[in-house]
Structure formats: structure tokens, C-alpha cells
Amino acid sequence: MDTYVVELLRSFFYVTETTFQKNRLFFYRRSVWSKLQSIGVRQHLQRVQLRELSEAEVRQHQEARPALPTSRLRFIPKPRGLRPIVNMDYIVGPRAFCREKKAQHFTLRVKTLFSVLNYERAQRPGLMGASVLGLDDIYTAWRAFVQRVRAQSPAPRLYFVKADVTGAYDAIPQDRLMEVVAGIIRPLKNTYCVRRYAVVRRAARGRVHKSFRSHVSTLSDLKPYMRQFVEHLQDTNALKDAIVIEQSSSLNEASSGLFDFLLRFVRSSVLRIGCRCYVQCQGIPQGSILSPLLCSLCYGDMENKLFPGVQQDGVLLRLVDDFLLVTPHLAQAKAFLSTLIQGIPEYGCVINPRKTVVNFPLEGGDLDGAAPLQLPAHCLFPWCGLLLDTQTLEMVCVYAGIYARTSIRASLTFHRGFNAGRNMRRKLLAVLRLKCHSLFLDLQVNSLQTVCINVYKIFLLQAYRFHACVLQLPFNQHVRRNPSFFLRLISDTAARCYSILRAKNPGSTSGPFPSEAARWLCYHAFLLKLACHRATYKCLLVPLRTAQTQLCHKLPKATLAVLEAAADPALTTDFKTILD
């Protein structure tokens, strides 16, 4: 019956996820989706430089050794348009066994090249320029910059520039990319040693957690024996309380072979659109773990050559293709912005003026008619889902862009079968840890007021998740049947967040931010959300209000005033756009 229903749906509908509703599935009638897809293909062919292959070229590609995949193009709906997604997981071949072997070989070569490039990046961090790979890198760079600025007296005025590159992956010239990579792995000189191993750790409740890793070295820093290698991992704090199992070891990965593979990967990757095959003439093939790294290395080379002194008094950050410059020099900010708007054709770098933001006035002749968004000198400056105070340099978390008009239930899943309540608790506390990042909780970067605002927003988002999980519980597991469990879960949420806060601020939280403050913010956030669903949570509201009132008597008046200001409804208006 299940197979029949699936085939029936497949016959009449195209089922897909979207960029704006997380894990929720959308069903399009096939006739409607066919029209949308034809529009998407036409726009993609206009935007990306592709050359159609003849039948002979396609056969030659299939018979090539080593085999390269034929990527498939599909589209995911956006609020306004379609986003092209390239799946690089399809090997063309006559037999399934051959296709599988070719795919495994290609995947292994990609992982080897990825590991080697990461090894070189670790040896020479400057190769990446201003690139940051996530919140951890942003926090490290931003914290150092904040401490540098606050050491100056008086504090300088800072000028902010945000710029977003248009079509970064599709615009990078392939010749320049190969030139950059050749300078990194030096095809005629280097030989790499690649060791693949597994790490087995004991997880919670007696379970076992396995992870598979690779380690790259050259002959000069090779650890040939397993004992030496494990001691090296222990010395670098990369291994603790674990079992290491060696899987394979290659001692002669020549950089020339890796470079030849990259050359074929970039210039000979085939993209199948419908019944036709194309090869990309410009840009980086998408759909691979190599793509973001290659893009960052290319832009890193651009920054090192064109903007070498921009970080002397300020900071330049780039998350793949999103730039942020903060500098005390207005002329430097204008020159940086002007260079990007004019474009850097040798690196294929052209920014979108409509997504460009500054916090200083621009005259008509500064940018040849381009009109970026101009914010006040002192404002909360947006960049990559963050809000930066342009005067105090504090960091505020924002969820409007991530969860606006998005169903929380579609973004949060947990196992609802056996032990649904325990699974719900485990899921909520695991997600909480991900949101409690040092970028928002560090009292050396943010003031106590800002940390309280960030913590309150984290708790309020957690309350939305709590409600979403309750709606997904089995029909016989109502809140009123076991209110103590849900009250304990809310209390554990406050305790877990406070323990993370203390770990990120050793020795500086017990005074200005006691545990009672975390509990007060948590109870207030949950009361705000759960009161909107009074019929479901009637048995929880009274105990939560009582507990919050008791905390008011314990907290100093000054601390309570800070907490009440952090819970100001005006600061969380963006949550009204989040759907259950």
C-alpha cells in the first residue's frame, strides 16, 4: 500500500523542499512544476557560461579514466524565484556496479584533495585572507578586534561596509583559480601522506559514537607509526578518551596528480539539464565539498593582493562571498566599496549594490550612480544573520531572517515513537547548546544588558520549539497528564543555559548574572509563549508565575531592572512572524 501511494503521488505531483520552510514538503502539480522548471532552466543558462556537448563528447566523458560525475540540476523554490541546486553524485555508465565503483573512486579523490588543501590552509592561515568558516572563526576575529579598539582612548568612530558578491561560484575565472591552487600545493614539489582513521567514543547512555577522519602530512612531519600518530593527536588536544582505528594510509600522494585531478574537476565536469549535457566554461562546479573551499582560497588571494593593509586598524571578514569591513578610516571604507562596486574581473568579483549596506553618507559621485543602503552612524548593522552595534561593537542575535514565516515544527524533528518525552527533552537541550554561542554570551565582548537580551531571545526561541514538540507528541501524552515532567524540562533549560554561560565566562557570571537571573528570563520567555495557548498549558502557567514571583524577591533590584529591560516586548517583535 505504501508503494502504491508513493507511486500515485509521484505520477501527479512533484514533491520538494523549499528554502523558506525547512523540512516541510510542498506538492506541485506536474504541469505547474514543468512550467516553473523551464523558467528556472532558461534563467540558469543566461546566468552561467555553459557549452553544450555533442554525443561524441558525452561518450568520451563516460569512457574517461578516472571517471568524473555528471552533475544533475534541480531547483528549490524560494520566496521569490527558484534556487538552482547541483547534485554531484551521478556517474554515467552502462552497469550499476561500474557506476558505483567509479563514484567511490571519485569521492575518495575529492576527499583527498579536500584534506590536502585544508592541511595547507592550516600550515599557512594567510591563504584564506579574511575568510571565516563559521561562528567560531567570526568570534575569534571579532573578539580580538573589539579588545584592540577598546584599548584605544578615545574610541574611534568606525565605518562599516557590507557587500555581497553576485554569483560567486559561477563567476570565478578558472585560469585564475588554477593559478591560485598551483601556488598552494606546488605540483612539481610536494608529496603528501594521507592517513584515514576512525575514532570511537563512548556517548551518553552507553551508546557508541563513531567518526571517520583523515590526517595529512608531508614527509618532513610524517608520523609513520600508529603510536607516534596517536601521541601527536593527544599532544594537539585532538584526541581524548577514544579508540583510534587505522583504516588506510597512503604515503605517496603526489601534488601533481592532485592538481591534474582538480584541473579535470574544474574544466571537465558535466552538468545534465533535461536530456542535454553541458560543460561549465567559467566558475567552480557546485555540489562538492571542494566548492566553498576553492571559492575562499581564490578570494583570499584577491584580498592579499588588493587589500593588504585594510586590517591594520580595522577588521575584514568574509563568509564565503559576504564581506564585512569595519575600519576607523572613512577614505579606506569608501575606497574598498568603490573597488568592489567597479568589480574585479580578474577574480570574477562583482557585488550586488542592492544588498550593499554602509553606515556613512555617500555623495552622488562616489560610486558612479550605485546606491547602497545607508544606515545611521550608530545603529545595529546587519551581516550574515547577526546585528552588530556600530558604536559598542556588541553582537546581538537575530532570528527574523532565519525563522520569519517559517513553521518551527517543520524545522524541528524528533523520534515520536518509544520514549517520546525523553527524545523531546534530548532534542531541545541539544538544540539549546548550539544556540548558546560565545559570540552572544561573552561578557568581554558584550555588556551585561546585551547578554541578557541574547539569553532571553534564546529562551523565547526555545519556548517556540517546546510548543512545536508538544504538538508532535502522541495523542495520549498530553501536558496535563504529566505537568511535572514539562516543568522540570523548562527548569533544566534554564540550568543548562546558565552552565554554558558560566563555562564561556569563567569567574565573571556569579555576581552580575546569577543563576536566578537565567531562571527568571527562562520563565518569562516560556510564560509569554505558553500563555498564547492557555488551553494546552493551563496546568503549567500558575507554577511558572509562582516560581518567577519568588525569584523577584531573591534578585537585587538593579539586576531585576536589567532583566525586565531585556524582556521588553519591543526587542522581540520579530518573533511574531514565526509560525508554530
Is the per-residue pLDDT at 479 higher than 70? Answer: yes
Residue 117 covered by a domain:
no
**Domain assignment present for 109:** no
Judge if 420 and 534 occupy the same domain: yes
Q: How far apart are CA 60 and CA 74, in angstroms?
A: 25
Q: Is 466 helix (H, G, I), strand (E, B) or coil?
A: helix
Per-residue pLDDT band at 367 (split at 50, 70, 90): low
Q: Is residue 61 part of a domain?
A: yes
pLDDT digits (tens, 9 = 90+) for 513-551: 899 999 999 999 999 999 999 999 999 999 999 999 999
C-alpha cell at 70: 555528471
Q: In the chain, how many domains are there?
A: 4
Q: State the cell numbers at 351.
A: 557585488
Task: Band the pLDDT of 253: cuts 50, 70, 90.
Answer: confident
The domain boundary, picked from 87, 106, 140, lies at 87
SS3 of 310, please?
coil
Mean local confidence (pLDDT), 164-187:
91
Q: What is the CATH number of the domain that holds 300?
A: 3.30.70.2630
429 & 519 share domain: yes
User: Quick check: is 111 in a domain?
Assistant: no
324 with 403, same domain: the answer is no
Alpha carbon distance 361, 151 (integer Å):
27
Query: What is the predicted pLDDT for the residue at 431?
Result: 94
AA letter at 343: G
pLDDT-derived band at 286 (thresholds 50, 70, 90) equals confident
- The three three-digit cell numbers of residue 275, written as one number: 536530456
Q: Does 113 fall in a domain?
A: no
What is the predicted pLDDT for the residue at 512? 77
Q: Is the pLDDT of residue 93 over 70?
A: no
- 465 and 503 in a single domain? The answer is yes
Residues 221, 298: one domain? Answer: no
* CATH number, residue 535: 1.10.357.90
pTM for this model (two decimals): 0.90
416 and 482 assigned to the same domain = yes
What is the spatial distance between Cα 196 and Cα 216, in angstroms, rounded to a whole number? 9
Last residue of a domain, which of 64, 87, 110?
A: 87
From 20, 72, 15, 16, select the one nearest 44 (Cα to Cα): 72
Tell me whether residue 155 is in a domain: yes
pLDDT at position 370: 66
Provide the residue type at 346 as one letter.
E
* Average pLDDT rounded to a whole number, residues 90-112: 68
**What pairing do the DSSP bridges indicate for beta strands 386-389 and 191-202?**
unpaired
Q: What is the pLDDT of residue 178?
A: 95
Residues 149 and 195 in one domain: no
Q: What is the C-alpha separation between 223 and 221, in angstroms, rounded?
A: 7
pLDDT (tens digit per residue) in 29-81 = 999 999 999 999 999 888 888 888 888 888 887 777 666 778 888 899 988 88
Query: Which of helix, strand or coil describes residue 386?
Result: strand
- Segment 415-426, tens digit of pLDDT: 777 788 899 999
Residues 6+ apart with CB under 8 A from 403: 411, 461, 577, 578
- When mean pLDDT is compared over 11-20, 94-103, 461-470, 476-485, the highest value belongs to 461-470
Q: What's the CA gap between 9 and 31, in Å, rounded?
A: 14
Containing domain of residue 416, as a range?
394-577
Whether residue 302 sits in one domain with residue 160: yes
Q: Are 379 and 360 in contact (CB under 8 A)?
A: no
Average pLDDT over residues 315-320: 95
Shared domain check, 452 and 429: yes
* Those residues with Cβ within 8 angstroms of residue 434's Cβ, 6 or more apart along the chain or in another chain: none
Residue 122, in any domain of the structure = no
Report the pLDDT value the prediction gives residue 2, as an integer from 0 to 100: 67
pLDDT tens digits, 113-147: 999 999 999 999 899 999 999 999 999 999 999 99
Q: How far apart are CA 3 and CA 292, in angstroms?
A: 38
The answer to whether position 538 is within a domain reads yes
Among 280, 302, 332, the domain boundary falls at 280
pLDDT exceeds cutoff 70 at 309: yes
